[in-house]
Amino acid sequence: MDNDVKVLEKIGLKEVSLKTHIEVKQLEFIVNAQYDKLNKINTLGFVKILSREYTIDFTEWLEGYHDYWAEHENDEEPQKNKIFICAKSDRSYKKVAWFFLLLVLIATLFFVGSIFKINVGIPSILDKVKTELPQTNNAYQSAPVVKEAVTSLGVKVEERVVESNSTNSSLEAVVVSINENLTRQIEGNETNASESLALNEENTTVQKNELKNKIATFVPLKKVWIGVVNLENSARKESSNEHNLTIDLTQKQIIKTGHGFFKLFYDGNVEDFSEQGATRFLVENGQLHKISEEKFIELNRGKNW
């Protein structure tokens, strides 16, 4: 039996502790059969865990354990720590929770403070305006703010006497008309903006359609090998069949064919080729040009293909 329990030392008490969450100190007490240093309740749980995880026979060990406690059942150990399971600390989670709570509290204080400032500020501004406006027949019309509005916005302002429940009456500035020229100017600006936006959208659509149409198509008269090298990203592709091949003219690339028996559809025209040897082309700035073997090798970094 002792040899079975000693297996835990061979495995490593730290490794066993990581797997079972039993303190290394308690594992040492179990391996060395130090019953007097083990807690009666927790120890039985530890034995079950170790027996299950490592298939250890604790029969003889438990007999010695129970015999010991039968002899010392009246012993009291009030100072002994009764919990030996290694638990992960949740301090970090608590710190995060307190941090977010503090952020919420600060945001709430700022929000309440801003509301308080608005509620206090608006009445004070109104009181200041009322105090500064002279109480004359032309009080509103002569105020600098009203004059600026009349000049810049083209509005007409009249003063009307407003009766209240109190004995005093007050003057009220009322906008009675708006400059017709200003209205027409605003409407004209809106119309011009709409027309400009529509024109821009139309130009964009035309440009996209032109870009889509910038292609050339090789139509082989018989099976042909065609290789394409993209000069922008050095990507290569090749094919050998009788199918048509479409070339994107918006990318800078060079093209080589195994023979010259094909039709080339390009820019609304059709060109017939009937050359025995290889042909080479350059695609640049949306244009397709036939080039020499030397130019092809130069553009292809010294390679014939």
Residue 261 — φ and ψ, nearest 5°?
Answer: -100, 85
Domain architecture of the chain: domains with CATH: 2-71 (1.10.260), 139-180 (no CATH), 215-299 (no CATH)
**Orientation angle between helical segments 13-20 and 2-11, nearest 10 degrees:** 90
Query: Distance between CA 252 and CA 230 in Å, rounded?
Result: 6
Over the stretch 207-237, which tens digit does the pLDDT of each residue have? 455 445 789 889 999 999 989 999 999 999 9
Residue 220 — φ and ψ, nearest 5°?
Answer: -70, 140
Query: Distance between CA 296 and CA 270 in Å, rounded?
Result: 23
Q: Hey, what are 172's tokens?
A: 């009220």
Q: Hey, what are 197's tokens?
A: 């936006």
Number of neighbouring beta carbons within 10 Å of residue 228: 19
Which residues have CB under 8 Å from 90's CB, separation 6+? none
Q: How far apart are the first and last CA of the chain?
A: 78
Contact between 295 and 268 under an 8 Å Cβ cutoff? The reply is no
Q: How many residues does the chain have?
A: 305
Over the stretch 137-191, which tens digit does the pLDDT of each residue have? 444 445 555 455 445 555 555 555 545 454 444 444 444 444 555 445 535 556 5
Average pLDDT for 49-59: 92
Query: Distance between CA 25 and CA 7 in Å, rounded?
Result: 16
Over the stretch 104-141, which tens digit does the pLDDT of each residue have? 889 988 887 777 655 555 556 556 545 554 444 444 44
Average pLDDT for 17-22: 95
Query: Distance between CA 28 and CA 34 in Å, rounded?
Result: 8
| pLDDT recorded at residue 221 | 93
